[in-house]
Amino acid sequence: METLFGRRVLRASAFMMAVVVLMVGVAEFFCEREIIFPEVAALCAGCFLSPRLVWTTGYVRMVLCVSLCAVLGVLIVRFVPAPVPVQFAAAVLLGQLVLFASRTTFAPLVSAIALPVLIQTRSFVYVAAAFFLTVLVVVLRAVAVRLGIAEAVKGGSVSVPVREFVPVLVFRMAVVCALSAFAIPAGLKFIVAPPLVVAFTELSGRGSRAMSRPFSAVALITLCALSGSLCRLAFCAGLGLPLSSAAFVSSAASIALVRLFGMVFPPAAALCVLALLIPAESVAFFPLQVFAGITVFVLASALWRKMTGGKSAS
């Protein structure tokens, strides 16, 4: 049995921490916050913290889906003249449709399109960062396979009949729209933080492992958000250290939490990094908003499973 911090885990963790710290360091160097792509931490978690890739997808589809969704997200902000809740709903809907069309379970693509809308990013620097960081993760995953610390990707596709997809799509959109219509105007937009929407997509999907441990899912998500916030407050606001120092410690904390819970749930890692990107005035209450959001999404997913007998579409 693999120990909590065995050799494979340490080597895989080094890959994840290197990517996150490099990303934040480059963003600091160029003073470009759009370079910080929180979902890269989720990609790292799914690619490195488990020997087997946690999604049914392939390397090329990962890069294409993230890039396409990043472009769509920025275009929505630039060219859709609507209130943010409406833009956000459109982004989530498009993300769900891309996920269905991709024939994968690669839910992080939903965050790639929703994040620029929620934080109103208009710069294509975000698109470039999402593309190059995803390519970097994919390349390092291939290196990890060559080193024997990860299993080769077998690819494959997920076939979901339209008659199964439409009901779960309607349900997801109803929950997300209702929550965002309240949270965003109330100044509580991180209740619907994009990694939480990704978590909801995974939790309400067919055969969700995380839904077999709902309390652990809520705790892991919340503690990862808390660790990111505390690191930013302590290292950046308190000690005046670079943001990359907070990225190093918070990514290490997220890895430790994943190992302690024995649960690789990629959206949790993304929340550690999102805490480094949000406005400084939002950091203190970020974990509370995340806790509220994930609680609603877990309860909604439990209701959906009860309604469908656990046979919902992916």
Tally of domains within the chain:
1
Cβ-contact 100, 48 below 8 angstroms: no
Q: What is the amino acid identity at position 17?
A: M
Our measurement of the distance from residue 68's CA atom to the centroid of its chain's CA atoms, rounded to an integer in Å, reads 16
Domain enclosing residue 243, as ranges = 7-308
pTM recorded for the entire structure:
0.94
Is 173 contained in some domain? yes
Q: Residue 171: count other Cβ atoms within 10 Å of its Cβ.
A: 18
Is 167 contained in some domain? yes
Using a 10 angstrom Cβ sphere, with 0-12 exposed, 13-18 middle and 19 or more buried, the burial of residue 234 is: middle
Categorise residue 263: left if φ over 0, alpha if ψ from -120 to 50, beta otherwise: beta
Instruction: Give, for all 314 residues of the chain, the pLDDT tens digit.
Output: 344 456 777 888 899 999 999 999 999 999 999 999 999 999 999 999 888 899 999 999 999 999 999 999 999 999 999 999 999 999 999 999 999 999 999 999 999 999 999 999 999 999 999 999 999 999 999 999 998 888 888 777 888 889 999 999 999 999 999 999 999 999 999 999 999 999 999 999 887 888 989 999 999 999 999 999 999 999 999 999 999 999 999 999 999 999 999 999 999 999 999 999 999 999 999 999 999 999 999 999 999 998 887 655 55
Using a 10 angstrom Cβ sphere, with 0-12 exposed, 13-18 middle and 19 or more buried, the burial of residue 295 is: middle
Is 1 contained in some domain? no
Q: How far apart are the first and last CA of the chain?
A: 31
Structure tokens at 226: 């808390």
**Cβ neighbours of residue 102 under 8 Å, at least 6 residues apart?**
57, 61, 65, 109
CA dist 137 → 67, 207, 284 (Å): 14, 26, 30
Q: Rounded CA gap, 101 and 132, in Å?
A: 23
Is 313 contained in some domain? no
Structure tokens at 13: 């963790």
Is 15 contained in some domain? yes
Is 2 contained in some domain? no
